[in-house]
Structure 1
């Protein structure tokens, strides 16, 4: 019998976070994917370096690939150091890949990485979201709601 999946992901150490993703996209569904890395990439990530601000994921050749993510070269690496912006394979179950492929092709959704982190077992993971892009008026409404929540909290703190 399969082990039940936890409600939230076991994030021990967050390395990189895409903070603009929740502002630019409506997040529909979130997946946890493993990350196929080379040796010096792991060392660089453990040092807290890496960026996924402009990255995205795509489904091709029966797999999911993380594109445009930057993991800088390891400072003490030798001539076998890794390439900083190479596409990296994401490790998902076949059923999850089929679900992502269907959503991207039929519904016009986007695969956006939300964060890269190490789990409790020390494995590098990517929090991958199935998202739909926001229009300009949706972004304005988000800003308006965020400002109202901040003002409301300030009023409650002062008057309450």
Structure 2
């Protein structure tokens, strides 16, 4: 990419997070990786489906994020599900840990992407949805889909 242009190539999204949680505040952070993991991410070998974020001893960790082993790698390949450190400032970590303790929030990974040539993870402060909230969201989506379908039929049919 040319200098001055900021490219954002999405590697993986966590669609389950939007379904199971109300996402309130988004935070972009870096991630500590080894070389073969970055090469695997360039090939799109990543899943955030079962991933979750925790704060331990003043550090933020993402766990159960699956990065497929690099096929052309050798013994340098790491465990695909190993915990990986997320890179945030201490002030941000302190604020997040306070919000988690006091208001019943949790941290959820939402998206993994390349920003320029660096891998970034977008995490969100999230509150869990109840079953009736999920049903209401599904009903709303169905209504919108039905309205789009009716609109299409009326104008092009």
- TM-score normalised to the size of structure 2? 0.91
In structure 2, the gaps of 5 or more residues are 1-5
5 Å-filtered alignment, 1:4-23, equals 12-23=8-19
Distance 1:27 1:83 in 2: 30
Secondary structure (helix, strand or coil) at the match of 1:158 reads: helix
Find the residue that maps to 2:148 and give its secondary structure.
helix
1:143 counterpart residue number: 138
Query: How many residues are aligned here?
Result: 150
2:151 to 136, 141, 156: 156
Is 2:91 the partner of 1:95?
yes
| Structure 1 partner of 2:110 | 114
Query: Match of 1:31?
Result: 27
How much does 1:95 deviate? Answer: 1.7
Native 8 Å contact 1:11 1:117 kept in 2: no
Listed as ranges, the matches of 1:78-89 within 5 Å are 78-89=74-85
Query: Could you tell me how far 1:11 is from its partner in structure 2?
Result: 5.7
SS for the counterpart of 1:124 is: strand
Structure 1's unaligned 5+ residue stretches are 1-9
Runs of 4+ deviating beyond 3 Å? none
Which structure: greater strand fraction? 2
What is the TM-score of this pair, normalised by structure 1? 0.90
RMSD, aligned CA: 1.2
Q: 1:157, CA displacement in angstroms?
A: 2.1
